[in-house]
Amino acid sequence: MVKHQETVAYSVLKKVSFPEDIRKLSIAELNTLSQEIRDLIIDTVASRGGHLASSLGAVELTLALHFVFNTPQDKIIWDVGHQSYAHKIITGRKEQFSSLRKQGGISGFPRREESIYDAFNVGHSGTSISAAAGFAQAKCLKGEKDKIIAVIGDGSMTTGMAFEALNWAGDSKKDMIIVCNDNEMSISPNVGALSSYLNRIMTGHRVTKLKADVKGFLKNIPGIGEHIVKFSQQIEESLKTFVVPGGLFEELGFTYVGPLEGHRLDYLIKNFENVRDLEGPVLVHVITKKGKGYKFAEEKPLSYHGIAPFDAETGQALAAASVFPSYTEIFGKTLVELAQEDQRLVAITAAMCEGTGLEQFQKAFPQRLYDVGIAEQHAVTFAAGLAVEGFLPVVAIYSTFLQRAYDQIIHDVCLQNLPVIFAIDRAGIVGEDGATHQGLFDYSYLRSIPNLIIMAPKDENELRHMLKTAVSCGSPVSLRYPRGKGMGAKLDKKIKTLKIGKGEVLRKGSDLAVIAVGATVYPALAAAEKMASEKVSVEVINARFVKPIDSAMILNTALSFKKIIIVEENVLQGGFGSAVLEMLAEKSVSNVKIKRLGIPDEFVEHATQEQLRHKYGIDEEGIIRAIKQMLK
């Protein structure tokens, strides 16, 4: 069970800083080390929040890999990277581990900038085999013999990228080792045919083990035991075809090793030592338990996948649940309401049913909810197919993961002007997950696509109206909203449709206008309130639409104010502010001073959402600062 850091002796861990330290340890010491690493991970995540269950499940696997392979010369490439906490602890970052995901602290994901042991930057699923293939090809060109190891979960194995890379790797015959860390879970239980296949291998393995045990038992029954064994052997022959472990991978050109029990260090080490000497592509299938060693996480791996700070003793969340529902919750609830009225509505998730708030929809309409696995590209084109057949698909997805389906949005949805709704969650600054997960590009990458309507609500009430508008408009729509709780807005009983391309003036003013969109509208309003107390009159406009923008209203504002601030939670390049500038340039409006607030041309690192909004000057304080500067 969990012990608190102060009281833990960490008898072995205190001797370990780098992998060379663990290579000197006995199996018994390694087992103790596993426990101590788990304690450290649990205590740290309990206070910092983070990805718990996946990291707990990969502790022995991590130790075995670093024990057997000559890291950092040999390269371990983690897929997603949310399981890499043990790796971080034993690769020189034990002391900094308490700064996990803090501003200026270590990242929750492998980062090459952070450590020589982090071979490749990750955060999105399914990249490890492709990257490993690239490494393997490079080693071949350079005549180097270092080992390349990709560690990929069974969930991430369902990504299109993983299939593409397996296809290449199996054919290229380059030396590389793919470790499939199979815990039967993605974030939720894994889905799809490959998952069933892996499951059959495991079941087959269990059957083989069971048969051996039963045979041993029967043989010991005096007199009749031998006869029964002989008879059962005939049955056994037919059972052999039940499963050929790894047959699929063998067919693809891999040497299959497994399934291996993933929490037995002696066993893992022995097998990896054998695998190290194999040539060509090898797939090692390791069976682990998500959340291993922490009762609550083992019981509820989904809840403990990514988790906010909690009490390690009780497993209970530390922060009281917000009084306001989150945007995600309101989206899910509203979708159920709308789907009750409209049979055509169907929902699609790429392995993020809970994260995107679709659980209620799943309960209410199990036949109309499709979890396609970690397959964003497929999700989008699948939606396009449904739309052609007259359905109204809602693809509920995080902004950062939609990036993967860019061509599908253009080629399969927008080119055919199909009514697919992209309900884009976690848009804007997401916080502690850092650069790989910020949703800061969607206005820019979507704004250039014809036929697509782009909207963003100022609060959860407007989200409801926008969802209804999206469902009613018959076009492809991007509806983006931020991570976290809503603004506490009162929800209108009746959900209405909004006029496409029309913004609203929220506050009249005379000195300067702030045009805000999405999550920046309330801070703009608050800033205007504060300025009023300093006798500065600020007009605040809620743009609502990034495409089509409300040209008439913005033009009017430009002509009457001459000083405008535009605020958005998106990169400045190609974002909402760019759209306004383009429109004004088209209309030859030049005598207006415009300041754009948003994210500059850089990747945004991990920190809390508040810290980041502050850093980039898109919170109330930043907007006040900009107003004052402009009026100087």
Ligand X SMILES: Cc1ncc(C[n+]2csc(CCOP(=O)(O)OP(=O)(O)O)c2C)c(N)n1
Q: Name the one range near ligand X by CB under 6 A: 150-158, 357-365, 383-391, 592-600.
A: 150-158
Selected binder of ligand X within 44, 71, 125, 128 (CB under 6 A): 125
Contacts of 141 (CB under 8 A, 6+ apart): none
**290 near ligand X (CB under 6 A):** yes
Closest CB 157 distance from ligand X, rounded Å: 7
C-alpha 436/C-alpha 430 separation (Å) is 10
Interface characters, 159-198, with ligand X (x: CB under 6 A): ----------------------x-x-xxx-----------
Say whether residue 374 binds ligand X (CB under 6 A): yes
Q: Is 469 near ligand X (CB under 6 A)?
A: no
Q: Which of 427, 456, 432, 453 is nearest to 442 (CA)?
A: 427
591-595: Cβ within 8 A, 24+ apart: 591/562, 592/558, 592/559, 592/561, 592/562, 592/563, 592/564, 593/562, 593/563, 593/564, 593/630, 594/564, 594/565, 594/566, 595/564, 595/565, 595/566, 595/626, 595/629, 595/630
Counting contacts by CB under 6 A, is residue 154 touching ligand X?
yes
Task: Determine, following the binding rule CB under 6 A, whether residue 156 of this chain makes contact with ligand X.
Answer: yes
Binding-residue pattern over the window 44 to 63 for ligand X, x denoting contact by CB under 6 A: ----------x---------
Site of tokens 């703009």: 524
Beta carbon nearer to ligand X, 182 or 550:
182
Between 124 and 147, CB nearer to ligand X: 124
Window of 76-84, 450-458, 499-507, 615-623 that interacts with ligand X by CB under 6 A = 76-84
Among all residues, which ones are annotated catalytic?
A: 290, 376, 404
Nearest-angstrom CA–CA distance, 448 and 467: 22
CB of 95 to ligand X, least distance (A): 26
State the number of binding residues for ligand X (CB under 6 A).
23
Contact between residue 79 and residue 131 where contact means Cβ atoms under 8 Å apart:
no
- 285 near ligand X, judged by CB under 6 A: no
Q: How many other C-beta atoms lie within 10 A of the C-beta of residue 417? A: 14
Q: Is 328 in the site for ligand X (CB under 6 A)?
A: no
Q: How far is CA 581 from the centre of its chain?
A: 33
Stretch 83-102 residues interacting with ligand X (CB under 6 A): 83
Q: State the pairing for strand pair 453-455/545-547.
A: antiparallel
433-452 residues in contact with ligand X (CB under 6 A) are: none
User: What are the b/e assignments for 135-169, b being 16+ CB within 10 Å?
Assistant: bbbebeeeeeebbbbbbbbbbbbbbbbbbebbebb
Q: How far is the CB of 64 from ligand X (least distance, A)?
A: 16
Per-residue string for binding with ligand X, 201-230, x by CB under 6 A?
Answer: ------------------------------
Looking at the Cβ atoms of 404 and 458, the one nearer to ligand X is 404
Instruction: Supply 573's token pair.
Output: 């390049």
Alpha-carbon distance of 55 to 33, in angstroms, equals 15
Contact 496, 363 (CB under 8 A): no
623 HSE (CA, 13 A, CB side): 30
**Backbone dihedral region for residue 588 (phi beyond 0: left; psi -120 to 50: alpha; all else: beta):** left
Residue 153 is given by DSSP the state E
Q: Taking Cα atoms as reference points, which of 242, 254, 292, 230 lies closest to residue 86?
A: 292
Question: Using CB under 6 A, which of 80, 430, 549, 612 touches ligand X?
Answer: 80
Whether 500 contacts 469, CB under 8 Å: yes
Q: Is 422 in the site for ligand X (CB under 6 A)?
A: no
Q: Give the contact letters, 23-42, x = binds to ligand X (CB under 6 A), - = no.
A: --------------------
Q: Could you say which of 50, 110, 155, 192 contacts ligand X (CB under 6 A)?
A: 155
Considering the rule CB under 6 A, would residue 566 count as an interface residue with ligand X?
no
**Residue 153 in contact with ligand X, rule: CB under 6 A:** yes
The nearer residue to ligand X, 186 or 578, going by C-beta atoms, is: 186
Most distant CA pair in the chain, distance: 104
Q: Is 423 near ligand X (CB under 6 A)?
A: no
In angstroms, give the least distance from the CB of 183 to ligand X. Answer: 5
Amino acid at 378: H
If the CB atoms of residues 287 and 350 are measured against ligand X, the closer one turns out to be 350
Backbone CA torsion sign across 62, 65, 66, 68 = positive
Binding mask 390-409 for ligand X (x = CB under 6 A): -----------x--x-----
Shortest distance, CB of residue 197 to ligand X, whole angstroms? 14
Binding site for ligand X (CB under 6 A): 54, 80, 82-83, 124-125, 153-156, 181, 183, 185-187, 290, 350-352, 374, 376, 401, 404
